[in-house]
Structure 1
Amino acid sequence: MPTPRVTMSKIRHTLQLLHSGKLSQRQIGTSLGISKSTVSEIASYARVAGLDWNAAQALSDAELQGRLYRPAVARQSRHLEPDYATLHIELKRPGVTLQLLWEEYQAQHQGQAYKYSAFCEKYQQWAQRLRRSMRQTHEAGDKLFVDYAGQTVPMVDAATGEITQAQVFVAVLGASNYTYACATPAQKAADWVACIIATLEFIGGVPRLLVPDQPRALMIRPDRYEPTSHRLLDELSHHYGLAVLPARPAKPRDKPKVEVAVQVVERWILARLRHQQFFSLAALNKAIAALLQELNQRPFKKLPGCRASAFASLDRPLLGPLPATRMAIARFKPARVNIDYHVELDGHYYSAPHRLVGRRVELRITATTLEVLEGQARVAVHALSPHRGAHSTAPEHMPPSHRAHLQWTPDKLITWAEGIGAATAAVVRWQMERRAHPEQGYRSCLGLMRLGREYGHERLEAACARAQSIRAPNYKSVASILQCGLDQRPIDAPLPTQTSLPLHANLRGPDYYH
């Protein structure tokens, strides 16, 4: 095409002066106010088109321009263009580089392949036409991004009519954009962890990294460099073998995948549910699940396939296996071990090792169990009990003296006493029968056992027989009889009596009353 500053009249005048042959190209250019190179260019175009001044005079401006400046014939390229969309997907596989893809492309199209530098440049130009979030390269099976949407869904209590706002959790895999969403009543630590577990079960495996934000529910102390995570998030990481890499606070560029996924869920799922009314979380999640399946099946606009097909070919083969059991979601509560080596929860008392009396511990509570944690170590575990005022006591938590007491029952004590003799058994039975609770007689019976070890079973049996004869079958009487040696006297023998009172200044005597 001619330079815009060169009008058709100047082109005709140039052809006329060239035809006359009286002026040089430089002189013609100076005369018409154009450059010598422009004059040379017009002369060249006329020569190629086979036009002289006489032929040009018979043509209109449009015809003359069409003859001089014919459209350039595109030169057939000898290079074959790569499949850039396929290259973009292949780059997400671990270890795949542009160098490797170029070598494969060159081997497939020998003689028609671009050089490596042109290959890379053309791919980068193609990739720049994608959205920025799509231009980032994520390895397959590597990262799972999670967040909560800003938009909520109204929930109506059918009984009271009260309206609450359900929170919407969103998760997305980096390589395939495979998306998961569900609703929860709040954004507490238990809600976060329950949703992450549901996501892992939805995708059927475990990626290498979990990338959450740093909400207070998950981070005890948010920090750009060394955030301190919640105890429950640590348990999730250990149970599933999943490393946690929190995004920096107020840095959405650290997790653009889930930022885009949240927008997609809000536009393609929540917007479609805006006219529906939900009375339960289960009904809401059922509606979300149906639309979620449709979302993952929607074809990509600039890439082949859809989220589901990309997940099946990229992420799914590289996910780690799920553990054999699902992690139980727990809540944690600080407590102090009382002097009776028990901790209290909801009115029930659970034992802890007696060495922890007065110490602060942490309770880990699930739907079925209560665990006592000292630092990171579990020192006690009990089945959760609904009985208020009752005790759950493990024998190994008791001091040795209490443990010895606990080992005995009324039947065992009576059996022991019968092994010594009828009198001893009668005294033990008396201890059990005369108490409001048999346990109250345990200590007296244990005292009788000590006397048996000290004086022998034969003397203990004799002492118990004498205690019965004087109607005092208790521990103190038996101990006094053994100390005084009265067990060695016949029961029918009179006991020594004192016939006269000893002289003493505090005794008045019978004369005092006369």
Structure 2
Amino acid sequence: MVKYRQILDLHFKSVSQRTISTSVGSSRNTVSDVITRAKKAGVSKLTDDMTNPWLAKKLYPEKQAVKKGYYPPGWEKVHKELQKKNITLKLLHTEYSDEAQNSGKLPYAYRSFTEKYNLYVRKHKATMPIKRKPGQILEVDWAGSTLSLKDRENGGDMPVYIFVATFSYSQYSYVEGFLDMKSSNWLTAHIHAFEYFGGVAESLVPDNLKTGVIKPVKGEPILNESYRELADYYQTSIVPGRARKPKDKPSVEGAVGFISRQIIAALRNYQCFSLAELNDQIRLRLDDINQEPFQKRPGSRKIVFDEEECGYLIPLRPPRLKLSEWRIARVQSNYHIQIDRMYYSTPYEYIQSDVDVRLSKDVLEVYFKEARIASHKQLHGEPGQYSTNPDHMPDHHRYFLDPTPKQSKRQLNGYIPHIESSIYNKVNFIEWRTILCLINKILCQSL
């Protein structure tokens, strides 16, 4: 085997090629070729990582697997494909073997294929520890595992979904169970976590779940409006982790696994009928986890949080945020929008426009391009009810809804020209309105 490092080492010491050839046991042509290729490759001095195998690949890349007749795998493609669901290294090796045979070259055996892939991962996919700052990041997520409650009516199991929030710096965590993962519970869990911690982190890092992120656009995800409103109220920012990138939020991913073992697994056989009772049991085990001493450094999650991180949190803003829900609706031709099978009016100028609807506990507000255009008290009870503000109606609709005597006479004159004033004055105003309605009905039937 050619001693590339020794050849270059002697060359850089100004030793002649004849002497180098004698010292390393290689021909003068080989020594000359190694020196020439080193100059072209920009190797002007040797470092510790420039081993003989490294120099062989650097100076003679054509002598690698291709020259021996083996088909070179595309390791970057293999690594990306392996991250997809249900894709295995065995399947990728089968596809690679087919490609090699179609190219007229030899494929690596499965054992060599896996060894070379592991070598690629170690060299090119190394991770770097990132030093987190106290109070900077709070990672939030739903745990994959669930607990359960007993249904009082039929004795069946009702799933309980576990919310987890973890500080990246201290690993101090908050855990709570909910009966569903809807937006209202997602926001409530955040508020409870803020109150448990006694403050808010500079940034929230959630997953790309629908209750937090409407569309995970690369670079600038579109946030759920209710979630954005919560962040604005508590003066924090939301930085969603990238899709299928769990290392963007490693603390909560690790905490989810740890909590699944320490809390969810421990309570798997615990039976109760009340969510509050189950959360009390979760809180007891959570306090034990936060106060448990670290194995590889002094202190505990609770001690590090109290001594180093708590002072950097953004203070809680009183009073507690009143939760709201945002929806999108289209103004119908009758200048009403439909929400939960109830109808609410908007100014008629916005017919066929898409509007944002904010639902709070008792009030419904309608926004167009961030400007509020209508507000109603929420309707409850029988579906199909209407809440109509007369100011939202066109003038001719408003006249027909509640005409004055003068307006009624003007409308009747359109049907019966030259109506006698004496006749009009003798008839009660309510009777004229009845006559007007009957005329409209007859005309509609005739049409």
Q: TM-score, normalised by structure 1?
A: 0.52
1:393 aligns with 2:388: yes
Cα offset for 1:386? 0.7
Match of 2:264 among 257, 266, 270: 270
Match of 1:317 among 304, 311, 317: 311
Task: Summarize the Cα distance change of 1:341–1:468 in structure 2 as closer, same or farther, 3 Å threshold.
Answer: closer
Q: Report the counterpart of residue 225 of structure 2 in structure 1.
A: 231
- Partner amino acid, structure 1, of 2:183: A
1:473, CA displacement in angstroms? 5.3
Superposed CA RMSD in Å reads: 3.3
Aligned to 1:284: 278
Contact 1:269-1:292 within 8 A present in 2 as well: yes
Q: Which of 207, 210, 213 is the matching residue for 2:207?
A: 213
Q: Are the counterparts in 2 of residues 448 and 475 from structure 1 also a CA contact under 8 Å?
A: no
The one-letter amino acid paired with 2:344 is Y
Q: 1:475 to 1:203 in 2, by over 3 A?
A: closer
Q: 1:185 Cα deviation (Å)? A: 2.0
1:248 and 1:475 map into 2 onto residues whose CA distance is 67
1:91-490 pair list within 5 angstroms: 136-388=130-382, 389-400=384-395, 442-444=403-405, 446-447=407-408, 466-467=422-423, 471-472=426-427
Aligned partners of 1:179, 1:133: CA distance in 2, in Å? 24
Unmatched tracts of structure 1, length 5 or more: 1-131, 407-438, 451-462, 478-514
Moved more, 338-347 or 279-288: 338-347
- Say which one has the larger Rg: 1
Partner Cα separation in structure 2 for residue 166 and residue 473 of structure 1:
66
**CA distance change for structure 1 residues 326 and 405 in 2, over 3 Å: closer, same or farther?**
farther
Change over 3 Å in CA distance of 1:396–1:472 after alignment to 2:
closer
CA distance in 1 between counterparts of 2:379 and 2:246 reads 45
Aligned residues: 299
Q: Hey, what's the Cα distance between the residues in 2 that align with 1:476 and 1:193? A: 56
C-alpha separation between the residues in 2 aligned to 1:475 and 1:196? 58
Pick closer, same or farther for the CA change 1:139–1:160 going to 2, 3 Å: same
- After superposition, the Cα gap between the structure-2 partners of 1:197 and 1:476, relative to the gap in structure 1 and judged at 3 Å, is closer
Greater relative contact order (CA < 8 Å, ≥ 6 in sequence): 2
Deviation at 1:143, TM superposition (A): 0.5
Find the aligned partners of 1:474 and 1:170 in 2 and give their Cα distance: 68
Structure 1 SS opposite 2:321: coil
State the secondary structure of the residue aligned to 1:258: helix
Does the CA contact (< 8 Å) of 1:207 and 1:242 recur in 2? yes
Q: CA deviation at 1:144?
A: 0.2
Percent identical among aligned pairs is 34
The answer on whether the counterparts of 2:399 and 2:407 sit within 8 Å (CA) in structure 1 is: no
CA gap of 1:475–1:385, structure 2 versus 1, over 3 A, is closer
Q: Distance in 1 between matches of 2:127 and 2:254?
A: 8
C-alpha distance in 1, partners of 2:148/2:161? 9
Structure 2 gaps, min length 5: 1-125, 412-419, 433-447
**Distance in structure 2 (CA, Å) of the matches to 1:474 and 1:180:** 69
